[in-house]
């Protein structure tokens, strides 16, 4: 099953900023603003893992 996914954190908790402009969305989990991607649960999980790793690296700096 395909979902609309935040390309930054993998969340499906997203909304359109302006419904008339479907390509601009905001993620309610990480505040990403911009175009979204579509993918399955596996793809979303891969993005989430990469985002967690990125956050961990940022904390270490």
pLDDT digits (tens, 9 = 90+) for 18-33: 767 667 899 999 999 9
Structural domain count of the chain: 1
The whole-number pLDDT of residue 52 equals 96
Decide if pLDDT at 49 tops 80: yes
Region 3-17: mean pLDDT is 93
- Spell out a b/e string for 21-46, using b for 16 or more CB atoms within 10 Å of the CB, else e: eeeebbbeebebeeebeebeeeebee
In terms of residue numbers, what domain contains 28? 3-60
For the cut 70, the answer to whether the pLDDT of residue 50 exceeds it is: yes
Q: Please, how many CA atoms are within 13 Å of residue 46, restricted to the half-sphere of its CB?
A: 5
pLDDT given for residue 21 in this prediction: 67
């Amino acid at each position: 099953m395909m979902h609309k996914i935040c390309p930054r954190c993998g969340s499906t908790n997203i909304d359109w900023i302006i419904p008339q402009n479907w390509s601009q969305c905001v993620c309610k989990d990480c505040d990403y603003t911009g175009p979204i991607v579509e993918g399955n649960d596996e793809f979303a999980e891969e993005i989430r893992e990469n985002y967690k790793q990125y956050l961990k690296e940022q904390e270490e700096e």
